[in-house]
Amino acid sequence: MKQPLIELREVTKSYRKGDTTVTPLANLNLDVQQGDFLALMGPSGSGKTTLLNLVAGVDQPTSGSVIVAGSDIGLLSRSKLAKWRAHHVGYIFQMYHLVPVLTAYENVELPLLLHSMSRAQRRERVNLALEAVGLLDRHDHYPRQLSGGQEQRVAIARAIVADPVILVADEPTGDLDAASAEATLALLNRLNSEMQKTILMVTHDPKAAAAARRSIHLEKGAIVDAPEQVLVAS
């Protein structure tokens, strides 16, 4: 078997708050192969977002190792980690988190500002990403002029524009109506199957989980039943 793209070994994450320590993740092991589409499920507070943040290099483990795309997240400095994120990860949020004063185009362009690219090169990439999510015609709209589903698609365009290997999504359909949720899931599915993006998606919705290739359940910071390579027909 190939070296996994994401490799978590004995990962523990704890937060200190005054003199109490919260440990959302304890001694967790997880491998994710390149090209996988993994749904992360579990009750509120089980550590799903915490796990996602570790994989996305937004946070670092208290102990254990998180190796993603060949880099040990725990060993990188704050600024190195930022640069690493710019090149390897696209993050999709439940509440989209577009910058309200920038147009759809400018929002999608943001990650590219961190890469050495000419304006023309950026334009080409942004247009491709907007086209991939079917919103090229809305490029000059501001977030407030878009529906929730459209905002989320712009956010997905922003996540894929720099061509990262990994996409992480934290309840991407949590704020959407059924139709928009379905469209979003279909889009993620296409990104996985056609563009070979490895996707880690947190969700509460079994229907959403069904869209993924496999799903795992977290409970109190541990994986409870991780059926090995259970493929769900998509």
Partner 1 sequence: MILSLVHYAWRTMTRHKLRSALTIGGIATAMFLFCFIEGLQNGVRQATENEATQNVLIVYQKSRFCPATSLLPERYVPAIQRIDGVKSVVPVKVYVNNCRASLDTVTFLGVPPELVNTIKKIDLKSGSLGDFTGRRDAAIVGESLAARRGLKPGDRFQIGGFSVGIAGVFKSDTPGEDNVAFTHLEMLQRGKAVDSLGYVTQFEVAIDDPAKADAISEKIDEMFKSETVQTTTKSHKAFIASSTGDLMGMIRFTRFLGLLCVVLVLALTANTVFVMVQERVREHAVLQTIGFAGRHLFSMIIVESLLLALAGGIIGTAAAAAALHFGHFNLSAEGVNISFAFTPLVVAAGMAASAITGLLAGFVPALQASLISITEALRRS
Ligand X SMILES: Nc1ncnc2c1ncn2[C@@H]1O[C@H](COP(=O)(O)OP(=O)(O)OP(=O)(O)O)[C@@H](O)[C@H]1O
Q: How far is the CB of 14 from ligand X (least distance, A)?
A: 9
Q: Which of 49, 150, 184, 192 binds Mg ion (CB under 5 A)?
A: 49
Binding mask 119-138 toward partner 1 (x if CB under 8 A, else -) reads: --------------------
Q: Which stretch binds partner 1 (CB under 8 A): 39-47, 82-90, 180-188, 195-203?
A: 82-90
Collect contacts of 137-143 with beta carbons under 8 A, ≥24 apart.
138/104, 139/103, 139/104, 139/105, 140/103, 140/104, 140/105, 141/103, 141/104, 142/100, 142/101, 142/102, 142/103, 142/104, 143/96, 143/98, 143/99, 143/100, 143/104, 143/107
Angle of the 148-160 helix axis to the 119-132 helix axis, nearest 10: 130
Q: Which of 1, 2, 17, 194 binds ligand X (CB under 6 A)?
A: 17
Do the bridges between strand 166-170 and strand 6-17 make them parallel or antiparallel, or are there none, so unpaired? unpaired
Residue 219: exposed, middle, or buried by beta-carbon count in 10 A (0-12, 13-18, 19+)? Answer: middle
Q: How far is the CB of 87 from ligand X (least distance, A)?
A: 25
Binding mask 34-73 toward ligand X (x if CB under 6 A, else -) reads: --------x-xxxxxxx-----------------------
Residue 24 interacts with, from Mg ion, partner 1, ligand X, none (CB under 5-8 Å by kind): ligand X
Angle of the 178-194 helix axis to the 148-160 helix axis, nearest 10: 20
Told to check if 173 binds Mg ion by CB under 5 A, we report no
Site residues (vs Mg ion, CB under 5 A): 49
Site residues (vs partner 1, CB under 8 A): 50, 53, 56, 58-59, 78-79, 82-83, 85-87, 89, 91, 93, 95, 97, 99-102, 110-111, 113-114, 158, 162
